């Protein structure tokens, strides 16, 4: 039997998928109505989280943050079986995962972190990506069950907090990507270019295809072999800001990047490749 703690949009669809695969699932949510709604799908909802986890071989968690995970697990502790495996899908900090893994080990329970790059529909369809790291014997034991919940299970190795760190890195990139798209659409507005034309440009010229090449260029640190000089990139940033200012359009990311460019130009790196602005981020 499986217990699922946290039945918001993501958790609820994980539960539905597990039920469809024939699993017996107990559910709990702080807002009981959200858990109770899953009764119609075949789940058994509980108002007491300790009762919900009694007898479960696995307890899955999808909550909001570290504070919620710690608080709810403490409430559930009295009902946990000694052989239970706690699988936490919550996006949390890597630091707290390391501490939490050790804490629950000292309490006599097994905790492992398995964050996801999945939306509610992915959870319902068992697609997307799930990360996991920690005790490799445990990862191997869990792999069949967790692989059935996602499109691809990515093993990040023995470090218990590695998956948490990688999830934060992925989300950081998604946030900056979305902010970049926001600036792109703002520029299109300033230039009276339809968003459909922006989509058509990215369809023909896919900037996403350059991510790995750009990453390699940065990590190789060959900034003295420019393909786009920092001075020229800064000039283009000025043009963007000028156009936006003329149209009374706000840009979020470009002014901040331009300020960083200015700092590197003042240091004498204007003729280097513009990716030098990432130099101090390298290990």
Tens digit of pLDDT for each residue in 87-100?
Answer: 999 999 999 999 99
How far apart CA 21 and CA 15 sit, in angstroms, is: 10
Residues 146 and 246 in one domain: no
Residue 283 pLDDT class (50, 70, 90 cuts) = confident
Domain of 213 in residue numbering reads as: 166-281
Please check whether residues 174 and 217 belong to one and the same domain: yes
For residues 168 and 91, is the Cβ–Cβ distance under 8 A?
yes
The strand pair at 44-45 and 110-113 is best described as: unpaired
242 has pLDDT over 90: yes
What mean pLDDT do residues 229-234 have?
98
Exposure letters 144-155 (e unless 16+ CB within 10 A, then b): ebbeebbeebeb
140 and 24 fall within a common domain: yes
Burial of 39 (0-12, 13-18, 19+ CB in 10 A): exposed
CA 16 to chain centre: 22
The tens digit of pLDDT for each residue in 176-226 reads 999 999 999 999 999 999 999 999 999 999 999 999 999 999 999 999 999
Handedness of CA 89, 161, 157, 111 (dihedral sign): negative
Q: Provide the number of structural domains found in the chain.
A: 2
Provide φ and ψ at 132, rounded to 5°. Answer: -155, 145
Query: CATH code at 72?
Result: 3.40.50.720
In this model, does residue 9 exceed pLDDT 90? yes
């Amino acid at each position: 039997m499986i217990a699922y703690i946290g039945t918001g949009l993501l958790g609820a669809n994980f539960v539905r998928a597990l039920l469809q695969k024939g699993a017996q699932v107990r559910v709990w949510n702080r807002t009981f109505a959200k858990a109770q709604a899953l009764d119609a799908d075949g789940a058994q909802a509980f108002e007491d989280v300790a009762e919900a986890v009694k007898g479960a071989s696995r307890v899955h968690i999808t909550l909001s943050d570290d504070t919620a995970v710690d608080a709810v697990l403490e409430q559930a502790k009295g009902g946990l079986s000694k052989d239970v495996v706690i699988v936490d899908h919550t996006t949390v900090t890597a630091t707290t995962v390391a501490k939490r893994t050790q804490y629950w080990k000292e309490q006599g329970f097994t905790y492992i972190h398995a964050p996801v790059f999945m939306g509610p529909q992915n959870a319902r369809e068992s697609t997307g990506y799930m990360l996991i790291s920690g005790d490799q014997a445990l990862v191997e034991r869990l792999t069949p069950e967790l692989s059935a919940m996602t499109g691809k299970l990515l093993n990040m190795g023995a470090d218990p907090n590695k998956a948490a760190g990688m999830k934060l890195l992925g989300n950081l990139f998604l946030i900056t990507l979305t902010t970049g798209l926001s600036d792109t659409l703002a520029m299109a507005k300033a230039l009276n270019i339809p968003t459909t034309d922006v989509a058509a440009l990215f369809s023909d010229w896919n900037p996403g295809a350059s991510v790995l090449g750009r990453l390699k260029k940065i990590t190789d640190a060959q900034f003295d072999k420019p393909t786009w000089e920092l001075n020229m990139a800064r000039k283009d940033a000025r043009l963007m800001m000028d156009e936006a200012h003329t149209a009374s359009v706000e840009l979020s990311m470009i002014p901040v990047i331009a300020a960083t460019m200015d700092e590197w130009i003042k240091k004498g790196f204007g003729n280097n490749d513009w990716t030098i602005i990432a130099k101090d981020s390298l290990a």
